[in-house]
């Protein structure tokens, strides 16, 4: 299921409950209560957002992902700090810079989770998201 971007707290957010769990951006206890919500950096490129765990992805690994995305997309927009938050019955991530990257409220946010990284694309950049996921797996 693909979720749509929504207005939240004066910005734009995406519901990411299952992808956040799969990427390790949240941790839960046996009752399903959140015990850790990641602080993240969100980097924007045309049609692609790269969300990385600020504490669990090294600066070197983050730089490799950003350089690859910028080179492949021929674009880059300011990266900003954000957070994974509890929203409704799950989790969402605020997406600063997503307007510059070409996303708007109501757009579909296709997600690809990989260890401590969440790749959000507009459907046309699935290949680049897949390439970045491969790079992330090789970093581990």
pLDDT in tens, 20-54: 999 999 999 999 889 999 999 999 999 999 999 99
pTM equals 0.94
Higher pLDDT, 9 or 117: 117
- How far does Cα 128 stand from its chain's mean position? 14
Mean pLDDT of 113-134: 96
Give 3-state DSSP helix, strand, coil % of the chain, rounded to 5. Answer: 25, 40, 35
pLDDT score for 2 = 81
CB atoms within 10 A of CB 27: 12
């Amino acid at each position: 299921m693909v979720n749509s971007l929504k207005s939240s707290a004066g910005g734009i957010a995406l519901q990411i409950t299952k992808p956040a769990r799969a990427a390790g951006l949240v941790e839960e206890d046996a009752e399903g209560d959140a015990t850790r919500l990641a602080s993240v950096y969100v980097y924007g490129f045309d049609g692609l957002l790269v969300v990385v765990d600020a504490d669990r992805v090294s600066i070197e690994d983050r730089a490799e992902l950003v350089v690859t995305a910028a080179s492949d997309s021929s674009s880059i927009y300011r990266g900003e700090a954000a957070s994974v938050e509890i929203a409704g019955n799950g989790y969402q991530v605020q997406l600063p810079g997503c307007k510059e990257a070409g996303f708007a409220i109501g757009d579909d946010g296709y997600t690809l989770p990989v260890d401590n990284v969440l790749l959000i694309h507009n459907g046309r950049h699935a290949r680049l998201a897949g390439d970045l996921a491969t790079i992330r797996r090789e970093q581990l």
